[in-house]
């Protein structure tokens, strides 16, 4: 059963949020490989995870496959940090967008609520608003990470998220302008 009385839950996306994976190597050295992919950790990801683990329960939810998620989390989540869960696209809802004529994945926090977590105490960090179309109030959106070694997003985001820890209901906070709250 989750420890919902002490620490809020922070759900982290992987691709283009914490890492960038590419079929071919970029012009900079990759951090590791996961299957056929060259993986680049977003700058400051190690400090970000360690800092947030002190005040949040952490989880990963990605629209990737379970094997891929396991390979990535094994590389970026330190041994002393435990994840409440690491969910793949099997926990997402597949939707079809008629205008784009393509499939996309939705992360519905009702599934997390069924584990005993209160929606008011859940934050989700993701780069794709469409994936949280059912729970906009829980989302903190980051810019997409494409492997740029000069990226500063997580360095800026960590103190912002830490400032929210004691809030009673994250859904009541306007988070779209979080960068200006630094």
User: How do the domains of the chain map onto residue ranges?
Assistant: 9-181
pLDDT digits (tens, 9 = 90+) for 52-70: 999 999 999 999 999 999 9
Q: Give yes or no for a contact between 131 and 138, defined as CB atoms under 8 angstroms apart.
A: no
**How far is the C-alpha of 135 from the C-alpha of 112, rounded, in Å?**
12
**How far is the C-alpha of 11 from the C-alpha of 124, rounded, in Å?**
5
Give the tokens for residue 54.
Answer: 């002190």
Q: Residue 149: exposed, middle, or buried by beta-carbon count in 10 A (0-12, 13-18, 19+)? A: exposed
pLDDT recorded at residue 130: 85
DSSP 26-47: -SS--SEEETTEEEEEPTTHHH
Q: Give yes or no for a contact between 159 and 51, defined as CB atoms under 8 angstroms apart.
A: no
Determine phi and psi for 160, rounding to 5 degrees: -65, -50
pLDDT recorded at residue 100: 76
pLDDT recorded at residue 102: 86
**How far is the C-alpha of 179 from the C-alpha of 127, rounded, in Å?**
14
Q: Look up the pTM and report it.
A: 0.94
Q: Give yes or no for a contact between 44 and 92, defined as CB atoms under 8 angstroms apart.
A: no
Q: Residue 101: exposed, middle, or buried by beta-carbon count in 10 A (0-12, 13-18, 19+)? A: exposed
pLDDT recorded at residue 7: 95
pLDDT recorded at residue 180: 83
Assigned CATH for 9-181: 3.40.50.1000
pLDDT digits (tens), the chain, 182 positions: 444 458 999 999 999 999 999 999 999 999 999 999 999 999 999 999 999 999 999 999 999 999 999 999 999 999 999 999 999 999 999 988 888 788 889 999 999 999 999 999 999 999 998 888 888 899 999 999 999 999 999 999 999 999 999 999 999 999 988 998 65
User: Which residue shows structure tokens 């680049």?
Assistant: 40
């Amino acid at each position: 059963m989750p420890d919902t009385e002490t620490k809020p839950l922070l759900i982290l996306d992987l691709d283009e949020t914490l890492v960038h994976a590419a079929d071919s190597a970029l012009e900079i050295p990759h951090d590791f490989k996961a299957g056929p992919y060259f993986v680049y950790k977003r700058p400051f990801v190690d400090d970000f995870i360690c800092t947030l683990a002190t005040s949040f329960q952490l989880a990963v939810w990605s629209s990737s496959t379970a094997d891929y998620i396991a390979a990535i989390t094994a590389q970026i989540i330190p041994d002393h940090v435990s994840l409440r869960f690491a969910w793949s696209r099997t926990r997402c809802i597949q939707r079809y967008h008629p205008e784009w004529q393509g499939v996309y994945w939705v992360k519905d926090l009702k599934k997390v609520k069924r584990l005993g977590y209160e929606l008011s105490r859940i934050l989700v960090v993701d780069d794709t608003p469409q994936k949280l179309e059912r729970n906009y109030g829980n989302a903190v959106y980051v810019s997409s990470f494409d492997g740029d070694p000069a990226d500063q997003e997580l360095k800026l985001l960590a103190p912002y998220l830490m400032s929210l820890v004691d809030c009673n209901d994250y859904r009541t906070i306007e988070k779209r302008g979080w960068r200006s709250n630094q």
